[in-house]
Structure 1
Amino acid sequence: MPKLRVLGPQRRTNLLVWCFAFICAILAVIVIIAGIIVFIGYLAIRPKLPLLYVNAARLDQVLYNQAGVLSVQLTIVVKAENHNQKAHVSFYNTRLTLQYHGMSIAALVADPFEVKKNASQELNYVVESSPIPLGKQEQELTQQALQKRAMPFFLKGNSRTRWRIGSLGSVKFWVHINCRMLLPTNYSVVYPHCSATSH
């Protein structure tokens, strides 16, 4: 006859394991509840990304001599928009660079500022470059631009944005500008409305 196996006393789960499982369950419930609260807050407020773009630009002065030295003065209006109806937006670390054929000719910065709910604010810059010695290729491109009576400039840079979603905390994004501006030499105003990206 086969022998019957004798079973020993069952091992009980360690108390520390039960405590750890209990803590993990509580944390999981807290995370789920926090997620639901954030989702409900998002649906209630429906935050929209702020915008920063070139609203208007004008070439005020062009000085170019036979030695290939260029000096320019521009007026650039950058506009910050907040389409959120329930939250103010703060803009800070705003740093833009004005370029001409790949050469940085001016830096545009702004102190931290706030845009109220569903409002906008303009940043007005009058940019005057130092005399810029151009290379041979840039001299040819400049002469062609002067003949066509329109000079190309690029405005690149970014700004940090932050706004609060009720009592749920703040949301932060980078807003980037990459704008090509073809400015007439007859000093007329151009409205590029270059699009901005956020992340």
Structure 2
Amino acid sequence: MPKPPYALGTERRTGFFTWCCAFICAFVFIIIIVVGIVVFVGYLAIRPKVPLLYVHAARLDRFDYNQAGVLAVRLTIIMRAENHNVRAHASFYDTKLILDYHGLSIAQLVADPFEVRKNTSTELYYVVESSPIPLDPPEQYLTEQSLANTKRMPFFLKGNSRARWRVGPLGSVKFWLHINCRLQLPIDYTAVYPHCSSKSH
């Protein structure tokens, strides 16, 4: 006796909710593509340059060192923040730099958040005056060698700052700026212009 044919079920149709979800996903995907193209074209049009922070000038205003190996100094340091973007302002914040002498921290240089308008620069003036610092024998030896030979005192300025530039709907880009600068300052109070610039990522 032949078997009856299998009964076919009713045809399943795509529901209205599924079509709505597919349409929304496609719409969102198109928006993402358009925004990406706009950002890329804007980037090519603006060609942003990383803002710079560097030591423009430094001077040793006072250098007192006695036979007991106690050191006291006063320095003037001028930092310069530059923004070479012609279509975007730049903001600098979280600026913290440490000034040291043969590994001894003398002062911390900080700055409140500030803005540098497009294609301009801003200078930061610091006057650093230390309290008397007793040096250990190795630092005493190095100091006496510098006084006898080069007449220049080695200071190091290290630290970080953050920078951000923003252009309208394109959003903003943030950078870490890193300073690692060796300052050889004459004891005759002559200013030097090291132009140690920041490195970023």
**Unaligned stretches of 5+ residues in structure 2:** none
Q: Indicate the residue corresponding to 2:80 in structure 1.
A: 79
Q: Indicate the residue corresponding to 1:60 in structure 2.
A: 61
Identity %: 67
May I ask how many residue pairs the two structures share in their alignment? 199
Q: Does 1:183 pair with 2:185?
A: yes
Superimposed CA distance per residue, residues 99-155 of structure 1 (whole angstroms, 9 cap, x where no aligned partner): 111121101111222212211111111111111111221111111122221111111
Q: Does 1:98 pair with 2:99?
A: yes
Superimposed CA distance per residue, residues 154-187 of structure 1 (whole angstroms, 9 cap, x where no aligned partner): 1111222222213322222222211111111121
What is the alpha-carbon distance in structure 2 between the residues aligned to residue 167 and residue 29 of structure 1? 18
Q: Indicate the residue corresponding to 1:161 in structure 2.
A: 163
What is the alpha-carbon distance in structure 2 between the residues aligned to residue 14 and residue 144 of structure 1? 87
SS of the equivalent of 1:42 reads helix
Q: Indicate the residue corresponding to 2:194 in structure 1.
A: 192
Superimposed CA distance per residue, residues 31-76 of structure 1 (whole angstroms, 9 cap, x where no aligned partner): 1111011111112222111100001111111111222211111111
Q: Indicate the residue corresponding to 2:71 in structure 1.
A: 70
Q: Indicate the residue corresponding to 2:47 in structure 1.
A: 46
In the alignment, residue 32 of structure 2 is paired with which amino acid? V
**Unaligned stretches of 5+ residues in structure 1:** none
Q: Does 1:24 pair with 2:25?
A: yes
What is the alpha-carbon distance in structure 2 between the residues aligned to residue 19 and residue 139 of structure 1? 79
In the alignment, residue 83 of structure 2 is paired with which amino acid? N
Superimposed CA distance per residue, residues 4-30 of structure 1 (whole angstroms, 9 cap, x where no aligned partner): 887655544555544433332222111
What is the alpha-carbon distance in structure 2 between the residues aligned to residue 152 and residue 142 of structure 1? 9
In the alignment, residue 175 of structure 1 is paired with which amino acid? L
SS of the equivalent of 1:24 reads helix
**Contact persistence 1:62–1:185 (CA under 8 A):** yes
**Contact persistence 1:64–1:71 (CA under 8 A):** yes
Q: Indicate the residue corresponding to 1:152 in structure 2.
A: 154
Q: Indicate the residue corresponding to 2:126 in structure 1.
A: 125
Q: Indicate the residue corresponding to 1:36 in structure 2.
A: 37
Matched ranges for 1:3-22 at <5 A: 8-13=9-14, 16-22=17-23
What's the Cα RMSD here?
Answer: 2.0
**Contact persistence 1:165–1:171 (CA under 8 A):** no
Task: Give the TM-score of the pair, scaled to structure 1.
Answer: 0.89
